[in-house]
Structure 1
């Protein structure tokens, strides 16, 4: 799984950052950060929407098998979608980053972003570790969504950098 997506043009961003710092243009730097974040927001929103609507299929119960309520009340897809984040940095390693924040997930779901992206989810049946179920989801949903947005994001970030460079000269 692509753990995160980063739109970087490190050389250009670092050069612009140095010029901004030496020129003392805080408002241009804040504007650049805001515009880069704005370029990444459609990707985050689409990833969240894709996660919320991701079909997860099961082979179903075998005849004569009992069912029951889920041992947790938290919705899986909504929990994972809420953990998708954006960060924008203009110093150090500058760029925009969209990632799944595993720190925002409950302890039992820390590995779920990697597992669900493979398309095969194995889990104990209602917490019983002697009985396991396998469910399937659309494989590589994260990677496919990122691939769709990457050209647009790269164009938008390049436009932001050109605007900032023009304002500095």
Structure 2
């Protein structure tokens, strides 16, 4: 389910963050943050690519087509709302998340709807006529996160060990 992915090795990352602050090295802390962000970027890109490649198929009935009544592309709008944040304070780590505030009001729940695999919506805004579409592949968020989390975790651990070595 779209939400957020957080990589936190709480004990070791907190200790490392305290040591970074005590060392007084803003350069070292910026370097640490930059490397953590870089570790999360492949998952960020993969999530954006996953939502861009989700196909929505109709219910199988013959439907008259036509241009979309809106000018905004759905998948690109959703891909633009996938965000990264890095924290080095009390809860250090990286987080990849879906920022609902970057979505138009009528699309705020769409990432979760597409994740479920079933999209039900009014036909061209007509609330008396509804269509159901299926998203293939369903689970675009969870499947991508499951595939990318081990690599991201290993990279963050490698960065943590490198920074710890620099501090010693």
Give the shorter-chain TM-score range: over 0.9
Deviations 1:121-142 (A, max 9, x none): 0001100111111001121110
Deviation at 1:25, TM superposition (A): 1.2
Of 66, 69, 80, the residue aligned with 1:68 is 66
Instruction: Report the equivalent of 1:161.
Output: 160
CA RMSD of aligned residues (A): 1.2
The answer (yes or no) to whether the contact 2:115–2:141 under 8 Å persists in 1 is yes
String of CA shifts for 1:114-160, please: whole Å, max 9, x gaps.
Answer: 11100000001100111111001121110000111111111100000
User: In structure 1, what is the equivalent of residue 78 of structure 2?
Assistant: 80
Determine the structure 1 residue equivalent to 2:18. Answer: 18
Q: Alpha carbons of 1:66 and 1:54: their partners in 2 closer, same or farther (altered >3 Å)? A: closer
CA distance in 1, matches of 2:150, 2:64: 49
Partners of 2:159 and 2:118 in 1: CA distance? 40
Establish whether residue 50 from structure 1 lines up as the match of residue 50 from structure 2. yes
Q: Which runs of 5+ in 2 are unaligned?
A: none
Give the distance between the partners of 2:140 and 2:94, measured in 1 at CA. Answer: 20
Aligned residues: 167
SS in structure 2 opposite 1:93?
coil
Tell me which residue corresponds to 2:123. Answer: 125
Q: Which among 102, 108, 111 is matched to residue 110 of structure 1? A: 108
Aligned twin of 1:33: 33
Aligned CA distance change for structure 1 residues 33 and 91 (closer, same or farther; 3 Å)? same
Does the aligned pair in 1 maintain the 2:33–2:88 contact within 8 Å? yes
Structure 1 unaligned residues grouped into runs of 5+: none
> Deviation of residue 28 (structure 1)?
1.1
Q: Secondary structure at the match of 2:66?
A: coil
TM-score, scaled relative to structure 2: 0.95
What's the CA shift string for 1:3-54, capped at 9, x where partnerless?
1111111111111111111110111111110011000000010111111111
